[in-house]
Amino acid sequence: MTTLHNKTEYTLHYRNRKQALNAGLKLTKIHKLKFQQSAWLKPYIDLNTKLRTAATTTFEKDLYKLANNAIVGKTMENIYKHRIVKLVSKWEGRYGAKNLISSPRFHNRKIFDENLMAIELNKTNLTFNKPLYIGMSILDISKVCMYDFHYKFILPTVGIENLKLMYGDTDSFVYEVTCDDVYRDVMIPNLSKFDTSDYVGDNPYNLPQVNKKVLGLMKDDANGRIMTHFVGLRSKMYTFKLQYTDEEQKALWQKYHG
């Protein structure tokens, strides 16, 4: 959790522990230390990344992206939220709605019409068959990459006085940057840290299109459009406004090059 409160009996990847200690964390007690690792998933990830890079349609790009991203969700699936759903078309009887609603396993119901109802029941038996350590490792290593980018690159490059972190998620940051030219001063000298493949080829920032779909690199989701307003309420609940629409931006860039 991203708080400065003390953490006790906190399970984490060894790379997170190493990073935190280097940043000044005080470790007071180790409860258990156990680790085995191998890059057994690498061929699958590399294949999907290669196929996504070569994809020519939005469907293909989204398909291969989902094939990789789904691993986190499926390996960390909360089986306590699994339900049994019954579709019933009668009220009375052993398998009728009345009997199911009165069951101690009853969780919720959805009425479609007078002849059809869906009833959710809690499971009585749960099988713990999800490899939680996979999703946990992915999320922890993601934190290592994100914290390294923030503390070791963007802060010293831009300067703490010119940078405000507005929002952060598993794989994204929203910054307010007040330096003269973030494209000229930050991105161009450090292209190895960015995927700029979605910028237009003749953009006014003179950014080359490089590092397409390279894993671990940061990407400007606005592709050069300036964010003028941002409202962040909580995790995955935010909105923003860009300075220009896609059409206005293209017109401005054409005028710039003309």
Distances from the Cα of 244 to the Cα of 166, 247, 250, angstroms: 21, 8, 9
119-171 pLDDT tens trace: 999 999 999 999 999 999 999 999 999 999 999 999 999 999 999 999 998 88
The predicted pLDDT at position 245 comes to: 67
Yes or no: say if 253 and 201 are a contact pair by the CB < 8 Å rule. Answer: no
| Terminal-to-terminal C-alpha distance of the chain | 50
Q: How do residues 178-193 score in pLDDT, each as one tens digit?
A: 988 999 999 999 999 9
| Domain edges within the chain | 79-122, 142-257
Confidence band for 22, pLDDT divided at 50, 70 and 90: very high
In this structure, the strands spanning 116-122 and 83-88 are antiparallel
Distance CA 65, CA 60 (A): 8
> 89-120, pLDDT tens digit by residue?
999 988 899 999 999 999 999 999 989 999 99
Tell me how far CA of residue 173 lies from CA of 74, 154, 165, 226, in angstroms. 24, 11, 7, 15
Please, are residues 99 and 119 in contact by the beta-carbon 8 Å criterion? Answer: no
Q: How far apart, in whole angstroms, are the C-alpha atoms of residue 167 and residue 182? A: 18
**Which strand (E) or helix (H) includes residue 174?**
strand 172-177
Whether 41 contacts 71, CB under 8 Å: yes
- CA–CA distance, 184 with 190 (Å, rounded to integer): 10
Query: What is the predicted pLDDT for the residue at 188?
Result: 94
Residue 254 has pLDDT above 80, yes or no: no
* DSSP for 95-152, written as a single string: TSHHHHHTSTTEEEEEEEETTEEEEEEE-S-------HHHHHHHHHHHHHHHHIIIII
Model confidence over 38-97: pLDDT tens digits? Answer: 999 999 999 999 999 999 999 999 999 999 999 999 999 999 999 999 999 999 988 899
45 Cβ contact partners less than 8 Å away, ≥ 6 residues apart: 68, 215
Query: What distance in Å separates the CA atoms of residue 108 and residue 17, rounded to the nearest whole number?
Result: 42
CA dihedral 211, 215, 221, 223 (to 10 degrees): 0
